């Protein structure tokens, strides 16, 4: 598990640097996703699998792992949100390995269902992985797509729902939380910071269960940076120099 821990910590430090230099935001969400991404991107094969980032504001973390997979260059990664760069703060299909835009909530997951159905109809191997936020569960498109996936028994579809207890403007329970419609899905709750649990979940995916799979992953927004953990203000705040230096010390 030490390897995953190192990958996650390295990703947090690099993403922190990118966001700081760009003067952008969503750092809390990015920190919270690091552990799942560390395991997932060590296991998936982008030559046959597809990955859809439905919560596209986590683009910097996706770009980091595409670098580790040899899909983009360090120069491209370092251009994140810089003038003239195509690597902006929202995941868009700017390279072949980013299959669909993760901009507005509620669109990436239905696209993942479409990709999985296409693979099924064509008899193609590989899985379609979708990473989405719990705020997206409020969208009608999520419910429609989940019913479609269950109807077609898309056992090549794997969804990770990041449940960090917050949406953009406050706590999830205080705004709206619809839950995931799990009928005819194989649904599991996991700790999104427990590398053993995440790895076991992905091994289960690879064996197949005859149904679409969804993991409700409990995470901490801002994980790894003590003064950001559980603080929803870091959804939108940008990092001042002092914040950046304090955060780096947390990640040593």
For position 182, which CATH number holds? 3.40.50.970
pLDDT for position 213: 94
Q: Over pLDDT 90: what percentage of the chain?
A: 77
pLDDT for position 18: 97
Q: What are phi and psi of 130, to 5 degrees?
A: -130, 130
Mean pLDDT of 216-221: 95
Tokens linked to 143: 């419910």
For residues 180 and 122, the model is more confident at: 122
pLDDT, tens digit, 9 for 90 and up, residues 161-210: 999 887 776 677 666 666 777 778 999 999 999 999 999 998 888 776 78
Reference 133, options 189, 53, 42; nearest CA is 53
Q: What are phi and psi of 197, to 5 degrees?
A: -65, -40
The domain tally of the chain equals 1
pLDDT for position 66: 98
pLDDT, tens digit, 9 for 90 and up, residues 222-242: 999 999 999 888 888 889 999
Rounded Cα distance between 248 and 107, Å, is: 34
Task: Name the burial class of residue 231, with classes exposed (0-12), middle (13-18) and buried (19+) by CB atoms within 10 angstroms of its CB.
Answer: middle
pLDDT band at 52 (very low <50, low <70, confident <90, very high): very high
Rounded Cα distance between 12 and 60, Å, is: 10
- Across the chain, what does the average pLDDT equal? 92
* DSSP assignments along the chain, one per residue: -HHHHHHHHHHHHHHHHHHHHHT---HHHHHHHHHHHHHHHHH--TTT-EEEESSGGGHHHHHHHHHHTTSS-HHHHHTTT-TT-S--SSB-SSSTT--S-B-STTSHHHHHHHHHHHHHHHT--S-EEEEEEGGGGGSHHHHHHHHHHHHTT-TTEEEEEEE-SEETTEEHHHH-------TTSEEEEEETT-HHHHHHHHHHHHH--SS-EEEEEE--TTTT-TTTTT-GGGGTPPPPHHHHHHHHHHT-
Whole-angstrom Cα Rg for the chain? 17
pLDDT, tens digit, 9 for 90 and up, residues 77-117: 999 999 999 999 999 999 999 999 987 788 999 999 999 99
Domain encompassing residue 27: 2-250
Tokens linked to 64: 């980091």
pLDDT for position 224: 96
Rounded Cα distance between 171 and 189, Å, is: 19
Mean pLDDT of 132-151: 90
pLDDT for position 173: 67
pLDDT for position 178: 60
Burial profile 196-222: b = 16 or more Cβ within 10 angstroms, e = fewer: ebbbebbeebeeeeebbbbbbbbbbbb
């Amino acid at each position: 598990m030490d390897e995953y821990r190192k990958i996650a910590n390295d990703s947090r430090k690099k993403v922190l640097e990118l966001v700081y230099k760009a003067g952008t935001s969503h750092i809390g969400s990015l920190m919270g996703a690091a552990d799942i991404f560390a395991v997932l991107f060590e296991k998936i094969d982008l030559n046959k699998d597809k990955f859809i980032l439905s919560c596209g504001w986590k683009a910097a973390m996706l770009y980091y792992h595409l670098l580790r997979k040899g899909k983009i260059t360090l120069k491209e990664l370092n251009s994140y949100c810089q003038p003239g760069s195509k690597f902006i703060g929202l995941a868009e299909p700017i390279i072949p390995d980013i299959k669909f835009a993760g901009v507005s909530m509620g669109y990436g997951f239905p696209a993942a269902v479409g990709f999985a159905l296409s693979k099924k109809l064509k008899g193609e191997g590989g899985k379609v992985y979708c990473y989405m936020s719990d705020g997206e569960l409020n969208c009608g498109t999520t419910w429609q797509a989940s019913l479609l996936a269950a109807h077609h028994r898309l056992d090549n579809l794997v969804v990770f729902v990041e449940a960090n207890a917050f949406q953009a403007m406050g706590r999830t329970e205080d705004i709206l939380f619809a839950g995931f419609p799990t009928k005819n899905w194989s649904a599991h709750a996991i700790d999104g910071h427990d590398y053993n649990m995440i790895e076991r979940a992905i091994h289960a995916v690879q064996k197949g269960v005859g149904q679409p799979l969804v993991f409700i992953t409990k995470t901490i927004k801002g994980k790894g940076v003590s003064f950001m953990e559980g603080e929803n203000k870091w959804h939108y705040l940008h990092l001042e120099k002092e914040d950046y230096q304090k955060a780096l010390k947390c990640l040593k």
